Amino acid sequence: MHVANDTLALIGNTPLVRLSGPSKEAGCDIFGKCEYTNPGGSVKDRAALWIVRDAERRGALRSGGIIVEGTAGNTGIGLALVGNACGYRTIIVMPETQSREKIDTLRALGAELVLVPAAPFSNPAHFVHTSRRLAQDTAGAVWADQFDNTANRKAHIDTTGPEIWDQLDGRIDGFICAAGTGGTIAGVGLALKERSDAVTIGLADPHGAALYSFYATGELKSEGTSVAEGIGQGRITANLDGAAIDTQYRISDAEGLDWVRRLLAEEGLCLGLSSGINVAGAVQLGRALTQRLGRPARVVTILCDTGLRYLSTLYNRDWLREKNLAVFPWLVRS
Ligand code: PMP
């Protein structure tokens, strides 16, 4: 049996699973990359580790240093764990409107929290800008800058993409996922295209994001809203710049949530909404490629994080009703 040398060696090398319901629905093979099995429970552990290693190589982060980031979720959790494992303090700046669960989780992991009032990105008080200033003003601190620091997508060029290629022995026709920073889609896409330009890269964009319109028409325009956390981008971040995206789908929360329900009820997979939106996109891309190729296509998507991170939202009937979303039948039983 393989034994990992330390906790950080547990990041990456995640399993790939064939998703039975989505495969049947699309008439082809749909595979999910189980990123929720990373130590911090999400795809963002990879980016957190690469950002920290890059800062160390540049000499920006030294023993006893401080990592500062503006994030409310998975990146903060990844940075806190990597920081603990490497001997760095982690300061997370987040809007005070974030869920109790997230605040509690980050605190439990030992991150220092700075809560700021919610503000639009154009406002200097926005949590991302606040975190940049805090990093500049704190001795020994480095700003992780996950949106525009391309060490983020490099993690996926170096690891996630090659892992997917190797797990399928290169027998892959399509890859699709949603974008938050864009690190995953851009990095995996570039790594796969480098191995074969016959692989189609698709974007699954939630409502309220501007990337669907950008890749369809060249114009950044958003429509509607989404309750999905961690995805939905309104600009071309440095991580998205130069991404190889061939096709795009706009996916509703209702469609994504229906896959979250089915994957749990029929396959025992408990996931967050971004994973459901990714799977909905994979079914559409799988159908299109199957028709184009004249044989069952092989499509991969990302299962980003565990649903246990969303017990007070996606798995809470009152919250679902409040948001006008379908309540899972088993939540109504008791
Ligand atoms: N899903 C979830 C739950 C996330 O937290 C993130 C990270 N923001 C993503 C998907 C998207 O990943 P990326 O930042 O690499 O685009």
HSE at residue 159, side-chain half, CA atoms within 13 A, is 25
pLDDT at 273 (0 to 100): 97
Instruction: State yes or no: pLDDT of 1 exceeds 90.
Output: no
Catalytic residues: 44
The question of ipTM being above 0.95 is answered as: yes
Condensed to tens digits (0 to 9), the pLDDT of residues 84-107 reads 999 999 999 998 877 788 889 999
**73 CA closest ligand 1 atom index:** 5
Pairing type for strands 247-251 and 200-206 reads parallel
- The alpha carbon of 296 is separated from its chain's Cα centroid by a whole number of angstroms, namely 27
HSE at residue 233, side-chain half, CA atoms within 13 A, is 25
pLDDT at 333 (0 to 100): 80
pLDDT at 2 (0 to 100): 86
Contact between 228 and 204 (Cβ < 8 Å): no
Pairing type for strands 174-177 and 141-143 reads unpaired
Nearest to 135 by CA among 50, 55, 63, 236: 55
Instruction: State yes or no: pLDDT of 163 exceeds 90.
Output: yes
pLDDT at 120 (0 to 100): 86
Condensed to tens digits (0 to 9), the pLDDT of residues 28-83 reads 999 999 999 999 999 999 999 999 999 999 999 999 999 999 987 899 999 999 99
User: Candidates 44, 69, 79: which one to mutate for ligand 1, based on the most atoms within 8 Å of Cβ?
Assistant: 44
Residue 246 token pair:
């061939």
pLDDT at 334 (0 to 100): 64
The residue nearest atom 12 of ligand 1, judged by CA position, is 180
Instruction: State yes or no: pLDDT of 215 exceeds 90.
Output: yes
Categorise residue 64: left if φ over 0, alpha if ψ from -120 to 50, beta otherwise. Answer: left
Q: 3-class SS at 313?
A: coil
The residue nearest atom 8 of ligand 1, judged by CA position, is 230
The residue written with tokens 């480098």 in the block is 194
The residue nearest atom 4 of ligand 1, judged by CA position, is 230
With a CB cutoff of 8 Å and minimum separation 6, the contacts of 184 are: 43, 153, 156, 160, 177, 302
**182 CA closest ligand 1 atom index:** 16
Q: What are phi and psi of 192, to 5 degrees?
A: -70, -40
What average pLDDT does range 160-180 have in this prediction?
A: 98
CA distance 276 to 302: 9
CA distance 124 to 292: 48
The residue nearest atom 9 of ligand 1, judged by CA position, is 230
pLDDT-above-70 percentage for the chain: 99
CA distance 30 to 62: 43
Q: How far is CA 291 from CA 21, 43, 294, in A?
A: 19, 31, 5
Instruction: State yes or no: pLDDT of 299 exceeds 70.
Output: yes
Q: How far is the CA of 126 from the centre of ligand 1 (A)?
A: 19
The residue nearest atom 7 of ligand 1, judged by CA position, is 230
**233 CA closest ligand 1 atom index:** 16
Instruction: State yes or no: pLDDT of 295 exceeds 90.
Output: yes
CA distance 75 to 91: 12
Nearest to 65 by CA among 134, 143, 140, 138: 140
Q: How far is the CA of 334 from the centre of ligand 1 (A)?
A: 33
Q: How far is the CA of 247 from the centre of ligand 1 (A)?
A: 19
Instruction: State yes or no: pLDDT of 303 exceeds 80.
Output: yes
Q: Is the dihedral of CA 102, 108, 113, 115 positive or negative?
A: positive
- Ligand 1 site, CB within 6 A: 42-44, 73-74, 178-184, 229-231, 272, 274, 304-305
Q: pTM of the full predicted structure? A: 0.97
What average pLDDT does range 289-315 have in this prediction?
A: 96
Nearest to 281 by CA among 196, 190, 215: 215
What angle do the packed helices 74-86 and 100-109 form, to 10 degrees?
A: 10
Q: How far is the CA of 301 from the centre of ligand 1 (A)?
A: 13
Rg over alpha carbons for the chain, rounded to the nearest Å, is: 19
